[in-house]
Amino acid sequence: MDKLVIRGGRKLGGAVPASGSKNAALPLMAAALLSENGTSDLHRIPDLKDIRTFSALLTRLGAVIDYDGATLSIDAGNMESVQAPYELVKQMRASIYVLGPLLARFGHASVSLPGGCAFGPRPIDLHLMAMEKLGATVTIDKGYIEATVKGGRLNGAHIDFPISSVGATGNALMAAVLADGVTTIGNASIEPEIVALCGFLEAMGADIEGTGTTTLVVRGVRSLGPARFSNIFDRIEAATLLTAGAITGGTVRVTDVEPSHLATVLGKFEEAGCSVVTDTESVTLQSPETLLRTDVIANPYPLFPTDMQAQWIALMTQAKGISEIIDRVYHERFNHIPELNRLGAHIEIRENEATVHGPKRLTGTTVMSTDLRASACLVLAGLVAEGVTEVLRIYHLDRGYERIENKLLALGADIERQSYQEFR
Ligand code: UD1
């Protein structure tokens, strides 16, 4: 296994580019299954473990994938299977994204239930509800979602989501584009990742109205063709790198970004006393003498992202005063708190609300986490902790951050990847 060894205390400075977005890339890859012939080319696909896991799943279904570390080409012309097996789905919950495309194209899908999640319950009822609304019969059998549609073709319907779900919106879209008739998706997610998916589906020939709004109207078409599409940048990675600048008292510029996707987070950096300058495709953050406390509530886009909650808590350990951080998307997503406290933070947790008492001097030790963003939070804490912090099990980090240690090294951090053996 690999760990990151960080000697904290260096002010970061300089410029680094953001990578392509993982969370946008996965539904784009799933959508490519909707084309019966030809090859779709997806550009700016980050070289990440999750991308390789999802590629393995699509390959198992019979798609032919070629990936050079940036452009991922998918030929789904000769699909052989509609079954997404447990051994692949369990590695990544986003595998559920194949449900909509398989059902829409083949009239049948068999997708393993994803199983538990490190940060609390993550149901898939809304994905299933959307498929049923579109005319599918859905049953759960031996741990698998079995979805079929009579006559092989879904029917347009009105789908109204009771809560905002990125994944369920994506699945509903990918199913509706090949359905007979018109589908309306109410309370749709407006995350940039969903906007990107709409863009790719349209390039494939789909008819979608209302992109970027909470009401999507999809007029089903008979078939879709392959397309080329450039993925969006990773707003969470970009915000994490900016936080690395802020937590170390440095000045960091992240390029290759769409600043509007980061508006709420950038506003919070300003509230914390940082100076933030944006141009068309970069953000520069300059730290203040003293970081100020801020309260944050994680909510669906365009509000503060739950995927930045853990990193923000790390930042607030260095801010003056008491910060309240609430997560309204995932109420139990707080695995990082005990580990931050082991580094010297003073954070209390009550239900879905963390109270961070800052500033606290952090001192390095060995820490470990059980999910992606919590790992990022511990790396950030390590950058400011005195002495050496070792972050174990960074395979979580590798799922969603493309060579993060190289980016932090480029900004002047003292960080190194080492392999180690874990004894159980
Ligand atoms: C995506 C992101 C994840 C991010 C999350 C919220 C990917 C691959 N992952 O996950 O990084 O943290 O959005 O921004 O893009 N819910 C239900 N029933 C469902 C589906 C969701 O109750 O069928 C709930 C969830 O438990 C959660 C909320 O809806 O409380 C939002 O989840 P959702 O937007 O669906 O998250 P994901 O798409 O799984």
Q: How many angstroms does the Cα of residue 152 sit away from the middle of ligand 1?
A: 28
Could you tell me if 205 and 237 lie in one domain?
Answer: no
Instruction: Sort 372 into a burial class: Cβ within 10 Å, 0-12 / 13-18 / 19+.
Output: buried
Question: Considering the domain boundaries, does residue 424 fall inside one?
Answer: no
Q: What residues are paired with 288 via a beta bridge?
A: none
Q: Which of 96, 98, 86, 78 is nearest to 36 (CA)?
A: 78
Domain stop point among 181, 207, 230: 230
Q: Are residues 68 and 182 in the same domain?
A: yes
312 in any annotated domain: yes
Give the closest residue (by CA) to ligand 1 atom 3. Answer: 307
Does residue 302 sit in helix, strand or coil? Answer: coil
The bridge status of strand 346-350 relative to strand 366-368 is unpaired
Locate 363 and state its tokens.
């001192």
DSSP 8-state class, residue 377: H
Residues 264 and 337 in one domain: yes
Distance CA 85, CA 168 (A): 20
Same domain, 141 and 268: no
For residue 121, whether the previous peptide bond is cis, meaning omega lies within 30 degrees of 0, is no
- Report which protein residue has its CA nearest ligand 1's atom 29: 165
Give DSSP secondary structure letters for 161-191.
-SS--HHHHHHHHHHHTTSBSEEEEET----
Q: Take atom 6 of ligand 1 and give the residue whose Cα is closest.
A: 306
In a domain, 248, yes or no: yes
User: Which residue owns the Cα nearest ligand 1 atom 1?
Assistant: 166
Judgement on whether residues 193 and 250 belong to the same structural domain of the protein = no
Q: Which atom of ligand 1 is nearest to the CA of 330?
A: 30
Cβ neighbours for 387, distance < 8 A, ≥ 6 positions apart? 7, 8, 363, 364
User: For a substitution probing ligand 1, which of 23, 51, 111, 122 has the most ligand atoms within 8 Å of its CB?
Assistant: 122
377 catalytic residue (yes or no): no
The alpha carbon of 269 and the centre of ligand 1 are apart by a number of angstroms equal to 25
Which domain-ending residue is among 230, 247, 271? Answer: 230
Q: How many Å lie between the centroid of ligand 1 and the Cα of residue 151?
A: 31
Residue 46 lies in a domain: yes
Closest listed residue to residue 127, CA positions, set 91, 92, 103, 106: 103
283 and 180 fall within a common domain: no
Cα–Cα distance measured from residue 265 to residue 251, given in angstroms and rounded to the nearest whole number: 16
What is the CA(165)–ligand 1 centre distance, in A?
Answer: 5
Domain count for the chain, please give it.
Answer: 2
Are the beta carbons of 407 and 241 closer than 8 angstroms?
Answer: yes
Asked, for residue 205, whether it belongs to a domain, the answer is: yes
Q: Hey, how many other C-beta atoms are within 10 angstroms of the C-beta on 334?
A: 23
- If one counts every other C-beta atom within 10 angstroms of the C-beta of residue 81, the result is 13
From first to last of the 424 residues of the chain, give the pLDDT tens digit.
999 999 999 999 999 999 999 999 999 999 999 999 999 999 999 999 999 999 999 999 999 999 999 999 999 999 989 999 999 999 999 999 999 999 999 999 999 998 766 767 779 999 999 999 999 999 999 999 999 999 999 999 999 999 999 999 999 999 999 999 999 999 999 999 999 999 999 999 999 999 999 999 999 999 999 999 999 999 999 999 999 999 999 999 999 999 999 999 999 999 999 999 999 999 999 999 999 999 999 999 999 999 999 999 999 999 999 999 999 999 999 999 999 999 999 999 999 999 999 999 999 999 998 899 999 999 999 999 999 999 999 999 999 999 899 999 999 999 999 999 987 6
Q: Token digits for 399?
A: 């799922």
Contact by Cβ (8 Å): 296, 268: yes
Question: 28 and 115, same structural domain?
Answer: yes
Question: Is 89 inside any structural domain?
Answer: yes
pLDDT of the residue at 117: 67
Query: Is 250 within a domain?
Result: yes
Domain span including residue 389: 2-19+233-419
Encoded tokens for 359: 């500033």
- Residue with CA at minimum distance from ligand 1 atom 32: 165
Closest CA to 244 of 406, 390, 408: 408
Nearest CA to ligand 1 atom 2: 23
Residues 70 and 141 occupy one common structural domain = yes
List the alpha helices (DSSP H) in 38-165.
49-60, 86-89, 99-106, 125-133
Amino acid symbol at 15? A
State the virtual CA torsion across 235, 237, 241, 244 in degrees, nearest 10: 120
**182 located within any domain:** yes
pTM for the whole thing?
0.97
Token reading at 413: 């951090």
Take residue 29 and report the two structure tokens written for it.
């890859």
**Position of tokens 């019966």?**
36
DSSP 8-state symbol, 155: B
Indicate whether 306 and 286 sit together in one domain: yes
β-partners of residue 388 are 7
Measure the CA–CA gap between 114 and 314, rounded to whole angstroms: 29
Residue 119, pLDDT score? 67
- Nearest to 132, CA basis, from 102, 106, 103, 111: 103
Which are the contacts of 116, defined by CB distance < 8 A and separation ≥ 6?
A: none
> Of 183, 213, 230, which marks where a domain is finished?
230
For Cα atoms 11, 15, 19, give the angle at the middle one, nearest 5 degrees.
115
Query: Which CATH number does the domain housing residue 105 bear?
Result: 3.65.10.10
Distance 193 CA to ligand 1 centre (A): 12
Query: Measured in angstroms, how far is the CA atom of residue 299 from the centroid of ligand 1?
Result: 11
In angstroms, the CA 232 to CA 198 distance is 12
| Residue 15 and residue 140 in one domain | no
CA of 92 from ligand 1 middle (Å) equals: 13
Q: Give yes or no: residues 319 and 194 share one domain.
A: no
Please report the pLDDT score of residue 115 as a whole number: 73
- Ligand 1 atom closest to the Cα of residue 124 is 23
**Looking at the structure, do residues 193 and 336 belong to the same domain, yes or no?**
no
Q: Which residues pair with 184 in a beta bridge?
A: 158, 217
Nearest CA to ligand 1 atom 22: 123
Atom of ligand 1 nearest to the CA of 373: 11
Output the CA–CA distances (angstroms, integers) from residue 414 to 16, 328, 369, 396, in the order listed. Answer: 16, 35, 21, 21
Can you tell me whether residue 45 is helix, strand or coil? Answer: coil
Residues with CB under 6 A from ligand 1: 23, 26, 94, 122-127, 163, 165-168, 193, 305-307, 329-330
Of 140, 145, 166, 299, which is best to mutate to test ligand 1, by the most ligand atoms within 8 angstroms of its C-beta? 166
